[in-house]
Structure 1
Amino acid sequence: MKKTAIKILGVTLVAGMTVGFAGCARGGSSSGEEGTIALWTHNAGNEAELGAIQGIVDDFNASQDDYTVEVQAFPQESYNQSVTAAASSKKLPCILDIDGPNVPNWAWAGYLAPLSGMEDALEPFLPSTIGTYNDEIYSYGFYDVALTMISSKTILESNGIRIPNADEPWTREELDSALAKLKESGQFDYAANFNTADVGEWYPYAYSPMLQSFGGDLIERDGYESADGVLNGDAAIEWATWFQGLVQDGLIAAKSATDQTADFLNGKTGLIYAGSWAAAPVREQLGDDALFLPAVDFGNGPTIGGGSWQWGMSASCDDPEGALAYLEFAAQDENVAAVAEAAATIPATDGAAAIVPGYGDGGENEIFRDFAKDYAQVRPVTPGYPFIATTFTKTTQDILNGADPKQALDKAVKEIDANQKQNNYNQ
Structure 2
Amino acid sequence: MVFRTRRLAGASVAVAAATALVAGCATGSGGSTSGASGNTLTLWTHNAGNSAELDVVKKIIKDFNGSQSKYKVKLQAFPQSDYNNSVVAAASARKLPCLLDVDGPNVANWAWGGYLSPIDVSGSEVPLSDQLASTVGRYKGKLYAFGFYDVALTFFARKSVLNTYDIRIPTTDKPWTKAEFDSALAKLKKSGKFAYPLEMGTGGSGEWWPYAFSPQLQSFGGDLIDRDGYKTASGTLDGKKSVEWATWFRSLVTKGYMAKKSGADPNKDFLAGKSAIQWDGSWNAAKNAEKLGDDLAIIPPVDFGDGPKIGGASWQWAMSSTCSNKAGAQAWLKFSRQTKYFVDYAKATGTIPGTEAAAKQVDGYQPGGKFNELVQFARKYAVVRPVTPAYPYISTEFQKAAQDIIAGADPKNALGQAAKAIDNDLKSNNYYAG
TM above 0.5: yes
- Aligned residues of 2:43 and 2:99 also touching (Cα < 8 A): yes
Instruction: Provide the rounded CA distance (Å) in 1 between the counterparts of 2:308 and 2:123.
Output: 29
- Structure 1 distance, partners of 2:415, 2:368, is 43
Find the counterpart in structure 2 of residue 292 from structure 1.
Answer: 298
Report the 3-state secondary structure (helix = DSSP H, G, I; strand = E; otherwise coil) of the residue aligned with 2:379.
Answer: helix
Moved more, 384-393 or 349-358: 349-358
> 1:139 aligned to 2:141?
no
Cα distance in 1, alignment partners of residues 166 and 190 from structure 2: 12
The 1-side partners of 2:154 and 2:253 are apart by 20
Q: What amino acid sits opposite 2:2 in the alignment?
A: K
Q: What is residue 2 of structure 1 aligned with on the other side?
A: 2
Q: Distance in 2 between matches of 1:19 and 1:91?
A: 15
Q: What is the CA deviation profile of residues 65-90 of structure 1, one whole-angstrom value per residue up to 9, with x for unaligned ones?
A: 11001111000000011111111111
Q: Distance in 2 between matches of 1:328 and 1:407?
A: 48
**Residues 152 and 310, structure 2, Cα contact 8 Å, conserved in 1:** yes
Q: 1:20: how far off?
A: 7.1
Task: Determine the structure 1 residue equivalent to 2:220.
Answer: 214
**Aligned to 2:19, which of 5, 17, 20?**
17
Residue aligning to 2:384: 378
Alpha-carbon separation, structure 1, partners of 2:122 and 2:24:
27
1:194-241 superposed Cα distances (whole Å, 9 cap, x missing partner): 111112101100100000000000001111000122111110111000
**Aligned counterparts, 1:111-190, within 5 A:** 111-118=115-122, 121-190=127-196
Secondary structure of the 1:6 match is coil
Which 5+ residue runs of structure 2 have no aligned equivalent?
none
Contact 1:193 1:257 in 2 (8 A): no
1:47 aligns with 2:51: yes
Deviates more, 1:139-148 or 1:339-348: 339-348
Asked whether 1:368 is paired with 2:374, we answer yes
What is the DSSP-based 3-state SS (H/G/I as helix, E as strand, rest coil) of the residue aligned with 1:291? strand
Q: Establish whether residue 322 from structure 1 lines up as the match of residue 328 from structure 2.
A: yes
Q: What does the per-residue CA deviation read over 1:143-164, in whole Å, with 9 as the maximum and x for residues that have no partner?
A: 0000001101111000110000
- Please name the residue that 2:348 is paired with: 342
Maintained 8 Å contact 1:39/1:94: yes
Q: Contact 2:8–2:211 at 8 Å: present in 1 too?
A: no
CA distance in 2, matches of 1:399, 1:253: 13
Q: How far apart are residue 335 of structure 1 and its match?
A: 1.2
Distance 2:319 2:279 in 1: 35
Bigger shift: 290-299 or 1-10?
A: 1-10
Contact kept, 8 Å, 2:170 with 2:300, in 1: the verdict is yes
Answer yes or no: is 1:268 the counterpart of 2:309: no
DSSP-derived class of the 1:45 partner:
coil
In the alignment, what sits opposite 2:95? 91
Asked whether the 8 Å contact 1:130–1:139 carries over to 2, the reply is: yes
Q: Is the 8 A contact 1:214 1:300 kept in 2?
A: yes
TM-aligned CA deviation for residue 119 of structure 1: 8.4
Q: Relative to structure 2, which stretch is displaced further, 256-265 or 186-195?
A: 256-265
2:104 is aligned, of 100, 109, 130, to 100
DSSP 3-state at the match of 1:190: coil
Aligned counterparts of 2:128 and 2:59: Cα–Cα separation in 1: 21
Displacement of 1:359 in angstroms is: 1.5
Matched, 1:411 2:417: yes
Given the superposition, is the C-alpha separation of residues 18 and 194 from structure 1 closer, same or farther in structure 2, using an over 3 Å criterion? farther
Contact between 2:21 and 2:88, CA under 8 Å: does it hold in 1?
no
Identity of aligned residues (%): 51
2:37 aligned counterpart, secondary structure = coil
User: Partner of 2:360: helix, strand, or coil?
Assistant: helix
Residues 7-34 of structure 1: CA deviation (Å, up to 9, x unaligned): 4442413525259736246443333431
CA contact (8 A) 2:36 2:325 kept: no
Q: Does 1:312 align with 2:314?
A: no
- The amino acid of 2:57's aligned partner reads I
- Give the superposition deviation at 1:360: 1.5
RMSD, aligned CA: 1.5
Q: Is the 8 A contact 1:21 1:105 kept in 2?
A: no
The 8 Å contact of residues 138 and 144 in structure 2, kept in 1 or not, is answered as yes
Please tell me the residue identity of whatever aligns with 1:23: C
Q: Give the secondary-structure state (helix, strand or coil) at the position aligned to 1:408.
A: helix
Provide structure 1 residue ranges, at least 5 long, that are not aligned to the other structure. none
